[in-house]
Amino acid sequence: MAIKFGILAILVASDDEFVTVRFKVRTKPESTGDAAHDLSRLEPQRRAGRRHRLTVRIPLLAVTDVLPVHAQTVETGKREIRLQADSSWNGKPYTQYPAGRPQLTMLKVTMRPNTALPWHIHPLPNAGYILSGDLTLHDRASGATHTYHAGESFAESVNAEHRGEAGANGAVLLLAYAGIPGTPTSIPAKGEKPEY
């Protein structure tokens, strides 16, 4: 006598690492055509079929390797211009990009509370974004200063000595440079330590 079975898979939960799936399996004997013969050979609990449950946690990586992942909807993203500048924060206009093959560099710089970076220059255009804390920029030649807070962007000066000073909560910066291979992103002023 053959056994029929059916499987029902139910997604129970998922997180960043695992998918939890509950399987319900039901087995039922297949009839031979002779009902009296079939029923006489089966135990009462098997006549209605048996149900089995199994819960499995599967690594998400294994699921995504097997199942194609598709975006549900295609739509235009929301754009916020954080910075668009043709001059630095201290009013000095940008003149040109370095000649040569472009190289983009992005750095995350963390400053402890109430500390100042050494005086330095940047030989190429760059921009910063304050992830957290506050940063006051100082221009050495003019004495100009400007304070930026978390969520604000700034255009850095090129070939002008300056430094940043973190506030009481420190500062975490994201800095992006448009340079060329072999050109440093920061050059210490004479007698100063490196910026980072």
Query: What is the per-residue pLDDT across 97-137, written as a single tens digit (0 to 9) for each?
Result: 889 999 999 999 999 999 999 999 999 999 999 999 999 99
How many domains are there within the chain?
2
Query: 180 and 120 share a domain?
Result: yes
User: Has residue 157 been placed in a domain?
Assistant: yes
Whether residue 158 is predicted with pLDDT greater than 70 in this model: the reply is yes
CB 5 within 8 A of CB 28: yes
pLDDT band at 6 (very low <50, low <70, confident <90, very high): low
Output the CA–CA distances (angstroms, integers) from residue 112 to 131, 166, 169, 172, in the order listed.
Answer: 14, 7, 8, 9
Query: 107 and 183 share a domain?
Result: yes
Query: 115 and 166 share a domain?
Result: yes
Q: CA angle at residue 63 from 59 to 65, to 5 degrees?
A: 115
Range of the domain at 19: 3-66
15-43 per-position pLDDT tens digit: 666 667 676 666 565 555 665 555 455 45
Output the CA–CA distances (angstroms, integers) from residue 186 to 117, 122, 135, 173, 179, in the order listed.
Answer: 12, 5, 18, 15, 11
Query: 109 and 177 share a domain?
Result: yes
Q: What is the pLDDT of residue 179?
A: 95
d(CA 146, CA 159): 18
Q: What is the pLDDT of residue 26?
A: 63
User: Has residue 195 been placed in a domain?
Assistant: no
Query: 107 and 60 share a domain?
Result: no
Query: 121 and 183 share a domain?
Result: yes
Query: 182 and 110 share a domain?
Result: yes
List the one residue out of 146, 142, 147, 139 whose CA is nearest residue 120: 139
Whether residue 10 is predicted with pLDDT greater than 80 in this model: the reply is no
Question: How many C-beta atoms surround the C-beta of residue 168 within 10 A?
Answer: 8
User: Has residue 128 been placed in a domain?
Assistant: yes
58-89 per-position pLDDT tens digit: 665 555 555 555 668 999 999 999 999 999 99
Q: What is the pLDDT of residue 45?
A: 45
User: Has residue 29 been placed in a domain?
Assistant: yes
